[in-house]
Structures are given as structure tokens and as C-alpha cells.
Amino acid sequence: MLIIKMNGVGKMKLQNKVAVVTGAASGMGKAIAELYAKEGAKVILADYNLEGAEEVAKEIAARGGTCKAVKADVSLLEDIESMIDTAINEYGTLDILVNNAGIMDGFEPVGEITDEKWDRIFDVNTKGVMRAMRKAINYWLENNKEGVVINTISTGGLNGGHAGVAYGASKHAVVGITKNTAFMYAEKGIRVNGIAPGAVETNIGASMTNISEFGMGRSSLTHKLSPRSGKPEEIAQVALFLASDEASFVNGTVVVVDGGWTSGF
């Protein structure tokens, strides 16, 4: 086994931990999965794009990490439950759940959004998060285990003008899920936090269809204020901190990682 960079306390930050990361085939999910594996975690790479997840798994394994790719459409209950069952069956437990998978709307304001688009956005961005958390938390409660949940939220979950109404509402809902769950289970040793990235170099734009010219025009007014795009690896460093024992007293909060973008409004 290849021993990878040790931290200052003489061991890797996630040594012997088991993590599930959704949306792990690319972007922030890929960066988080790679960093977790580097820091000693056994990682389930869950993604709708199984081929992409398997490529990431090969890269991690080549560097001495332990991981397994699984196909997971987070809008499907059976896929969510299967990915968590796989972690437990493959590696014996679950310690960390990172709900990172998400899709964008087409910047549609409320006057233009269809029921079908609204439901699709919420099935992936909100209901998928709730279902994965429910499955993980019930496992921890039933087995008297502590656990960590990290939800990728977006600055769009804290502000009104970063996307369309469906995306913004779906991410605002995840803020509520995060805070409520953190409070409810705080005495059980279960921590739940969120990360709100600003503009980050990912391929989430590939999920956008039928862009609203009006909505895009309004949202672009706020986007112009962003100082720069972030790297997925910069988000992964925050996800590592929140998953580690260094964040043992951090619970029920949303960490904004946007280079200062939203501090201006």
C-alpha cells in the first residue's frame, strides 16, 4: 500500500473513514473524492455517469487509494439506498456522506418555469439530498454511530439572483434541511454542514437546457461581480475540513466559498 502525504499529527485526516461522494465523476465531486482518498478514506464514487466515475476510481487506485465506482441517479430512491448499502457492504461502515450531485435550471424566472422542470430540479437537488441523509442517519442511529454529512449548496441557496427560480428554491431548501437536521441530531454525534460555492469551474452547465434570455440577463448582473472562478480543489479543501475531526464543533452551518463575491451584497 502506498502511503500518501501525512499531516502534522502523524496520520492522514480521514484515516480508516468510509465516505460516499455523489457527483464524483467530475468537478467538485471528483476533487473531493480524490482528496478524501489521499487523506486515507475509503470512498464510494457515486455518479449517474458510471464510466466517468470508473475513470476517477482508476486514477485514485493508481495513487494507492481505496475506492469503488457505482452508478447512482440521485433522483431514484433505489440508487440512493444502493450506494449507501454498497459502502457498508464493501467497507463495513459509513462515516461521511457528501451530497454533491446537482443540476442547473435554465435561469427561468417563476413566470417561465414549467412543472416538469421544477419537479426534475427538486428531485435531484433536494429530494435526493433528503433521501440520502435519511438513509445514512438511520444507519448511524440504529448502530449507535457518529457521522458527518456535507451538502454542496451554492451561493444560489443563500441569494436570489444567481440562477433561475427552481435552482434557487431547491438550494434554499437544502439550507433548511441542513440546519434542521444538524439541530435535531446534534446530541447523537451527527454533524451536518453545507458548502456554498460561488462560481466554480465545473461542467454543471451541461445540465442547462432552454436558457431563459430574460432570466440569464437578470442573473448576469450579479455574476459580473464575481472576482474569479474557483477551482474544484479549493472547494475540496473545505469539504476535507468539514469531514475531519478538526471541525468537531462545526455543525449546522453553511460555509460560503466564493472568493468574496457575495460579501458585496
pLDDT at 3: 39
Instruction: Please tell me the distance from the alpha carbon of residue 165 to that of residue 171, in angstroms, as a whole number.
Output: 10
Query: Among the residues of the chain, which ranges form H helices?
Result: 27-38, 50-62, 77-91, 115-122, 128-142, 165-184, 213-223, 232-243
Residue type, 134: R
Residue 171 pLDDT grade (very low, low, confident, very high; cuts 50, 70, 90): very high
Which amino acid is located at 186 in the chain?
Answer: A
What's the burial of 217, exposed, middle or buried (CB within 10 Å: 0-12/13-18/19+)? exposed
Please give the share of the chain, as a percent, with pLDDT higher than 70.
Answer: 95
* Residue 195 to residue 198: CA distance in whole angstroms: 10
Query: Is 234 or 227 the better-scoring residue by pLDDT?
Result: 234
Give the pLDDT score at 224.
Answer: 87
Q: d(Cα 264, Cα 53) in Å, to the nearest integer?
A: 37
- This prediction has a pTM of 0.93
- Residue 8: pLDDT band by 50, 70, 90 thresholds? very low
d(CA 79, CA 245): 29
Q: Does 92 score more than 60 pLDDT?
A: yes
As a whole number, mean pLDDT of residues 134-159 equals 97
Q: Which CATH class is domain 18-256?
A: alpha beta
Beta bridge partners of residue 122, listed in sequence order: none
Q: Which pLDDT value is given to residue 9?
A: 45
User: Does the pLDDT at position 4 exceed 70?
Assistant: no
186-220 pLDDT, tens digit per residue, is 999 999 999 999 989 887 666 677 899 999 999 98
The model's pLDDT over 14-71, given as tens digits with 9 standing for 90+, comes to: 999 999 999 999 999 999 999 999 999 999 999 999 999 999 999 999 999 999 999 9
Phi/psi-derived region of residue 73, left when phi > 0, alpha when psi is between -120 and 50, beta in every other case: beta
User: Mean pLDDT, the chain, as a whole number?
Assistant: 94
Instruction: Indicate the domain borders of the chain.
Output: 18-256
Give residue-wise pLDDT tens across range 103-132: 999 999 999 999 999 999 999 999 999 999
User: How many helices and strands (H and E) does the chain possess?
Assistant: 8, 7
The H or E element that residue 44 is part of is strand 42-47
Residue numbers annotated as active site: 167
For the four alpha carbons of 214, 205, 157 and 136, in that order, the dihedral sign comes to positive
Look at residue 63 in the predicted model and tell me its pLDDT. 97
Whole-angstrom distance, CA of residue 116 vs CA of residue 108:
13
The mean pLDDT of 69-85, rounded to a whole number, is 98
**Does residue 1 register a pLDDT over 50?**
no
